[in-house]
Amino acid sequence: MRTRTVRFGLVFGLLQTFALSCSFGDITTIGVVSEESNTYYPDDFVGYSSSAQLDVPAPKGTFTQDFNTLGEVVWTVTWQAPAGHVIEIAPPAGWENGSLYVQFQAGLSGGVSHYDTTPTLTLYGESGDSLGSYTGSSHYMMVRPTSANTVNAVCSWDLTMGNTYRASAISLTTTVPAGINDNINAAIGTFNLGGYLSAYSATPADPGQWISIVAITPSDISVKDSAKTDLTSGSSTVELLLNEGGPSLPFDFLIANNGHLDLTGVSVSISGPDAADFTLTTAPAATVQWFSEFPFTVTVTAGTLGEKNATLSITSNDADENPFSIALIATTLQATTLDSDSDGMSDAAEYQLRELGFDWQVTQLDLVSTLMDHASKAGLYSTSEVQAIHAPAPVIARDEATGKFTLTMDWKKATDLSTFLDFPVTSPEVSVNAQGDIEFEFSAPEDAAFFKVDVE
């Protein structure tokens, strides 16, 4: 077992760590968590486990409240990050289960005066907006203002491994009914939040301080292409190839905000010599919230052959990447025979097969040869192979001795387009229909897939 305790700095230790205020009968209890600690239990009796915790440092203060004068009241306990910071909860992938808890206790244990099985647990963003509220049977809040001078608030919330949760404050809220006639004046003994990780079949490494206090970073734009590759403002180029006469195609992008403050004033513009060929078809949101992302799409029209150039500019309140600029290049290829790299496959075909490793600008004789040599095994045949099935119209000569013409048809079968074998015909299978056409009615033999007639 390894245990660490880190005080988050002298300045935070001197902050006011507990405040109690009442307005319109409501009770608000606030603690600033700034002391970090974590424990790792490798390979104990039931597997691996880890805990991490944030505490309100001592002295934690006193909970003082006369419930006799309040009647029904809403009580909210808040675990708050220090100014300029957020609480980050990052249960790592590789662990199997994880949960978050919040705890507040003043005084000693006693009888239960109020027990709420569905209090509301809420995470708040830096701007004060709710990031989500959660209720459920695993969440409970106990208010126990008894002769033992006790109040108690506890909540548990399941986490998703690999996700990161960030909040400037986490609050637990309940409604205390009227009739709780106690006057509480008790020292706060417990005021913390933390979490547990467990793994029974996996062997995860020490996750360290996976619940922590992190400094707020300003809004920070990042842009990714359709493959979710990070782009660099001013130096990244995104290219797209189109077929002549083909449909318009999209450039898909993703704007992300890697800061704790909202990315605002987001707008997209297109400039450059061929800007008219590019259209913003799906615009991003004007505001991208902290640690979130939003897609947008630019469409280019397949027009004349050749290259079209434009610059995509994204404005925002990012301090050092405003605007965020990306070069766009769209090249329209000839749809049929043009083979720029002379490897036996057209540019358009190589572009369409690019996910298999083909590159229309690189000579790849071996790759093209491999495809052509084995295509028939996958049921694929070239135009010339299929056309070869259709025999050209014969020239029929008259027999000078008899004065008659003889038309001979040789029927053949094949399982591929390379080896055709004779397919004998018996007289009952051949007939002349009412229109004077010769008909050959037969069942497909074996696994033959192709048939042809040679006319002599």
Whether residues 205 and 255 fall in one domain:
no
Q: Give me the pLDDT at residue 37, please.
A: 93
Contact 93, 80 (CB under 8 A): no
394 located within any domain: yes
pLDDT band of residue 217 (cuts 50, 70, 90) is confident
- For residue 338, being part of any structural domain is answered with no
For residue range 136-172, what is the model confidence (pLDDT) as tens digits? 445 555 555 555 566 677 777 888 898 888 888 888 8
**SS3 assignment, position 297:** strand
pTM here is: 0.55
pLDDT tier, 22 (very low <50, low <70, confident <90, very high otherwise): very low
Whether residue 240 is found in the same domain as residue 316:
yes
Which two structure tokens, joined as six digits, stand for 184? 């509480």
Please name the residue that has the structure tokens 């994880």: 98
Q: Which residue did the predictor score with more confidence, 360 or 174? A: 174
Same domain, 227 and 200: no
Range of the domain at 329: 221-333
Would 190 be classed as within a structural domain? yes
Domain membership flag for residue 355: no
Q: In which region does residue 333 sit, left (phi positive, over 0), alpha (psi from -120 to 50) or beta (all else)?
A: beta
pLDDT in tens, 80-120: 999 888 898 889 999 999 988 888 888 765 555 566 666 77
CA distance 383 to 337: 13
Same-domain check for residues 205 and 243: no
Average pLDDT, the chain: 76
Q: What share of the chain is helix, strand, coil (3-state, %, to 5)?
A: 10, 45, 45
* DSSP labels, 165-203: EEESEEEEEEEEPTT---EEEEEEEEEEEEEEEEESS--
Residue 331 has pLDDT above 70, yes or no: yes
Domain boundary residue among 215, 237, 252? Answer: 215
Regarding whether 188 and 238 lie in a shared domain, the answer is no
Residue 327 and residue 396 in one domain? no
- Asked whether residue 359 is assigned to any structural domain, the reply reads no
Last residue of a domain, one of 215, 245, 260: 215
Higher pLDDT among residues 36 and 227, named by residue: 36
**Does any domain span residue 244?**
yes
Give residues with Cβ within 8 angstroms of 333, minimum separation 6: 241, 242, 243, 244, 305, 347, 348, 351, 360
Residue where a domain terminates, one of 270, 298, 333: 333
Same domain flag for 15 and 145:
yes
C-alpha to C-alpha distance for 51 and 211, rounded to whole angstroms? 9
Predicted confidence at residue 209, as pLDDT, reads 95
DSSP helix/strand/coil, 374: helix
Give yes or no: residues 83 and 228 share one domain: no
Specify whether 189 is located in the same domain as 64. yes
State yes or no: pLDDT of 66 exceeds 90.
Answer: no
Asked if residue 360 belongs to a domain, the reply is no
Mark whether 198 and 237 lie in a shared domain. no
Q: Do 209 and 226 belong to one domain? A: no
Q: What is the 3-state secondary structure (H, E, C) of 195-232?
A: EEEEECCCCCCCCCCCEEEEECCCCCEEEECCCCCECC
- How many domains are contained in the chain? 3
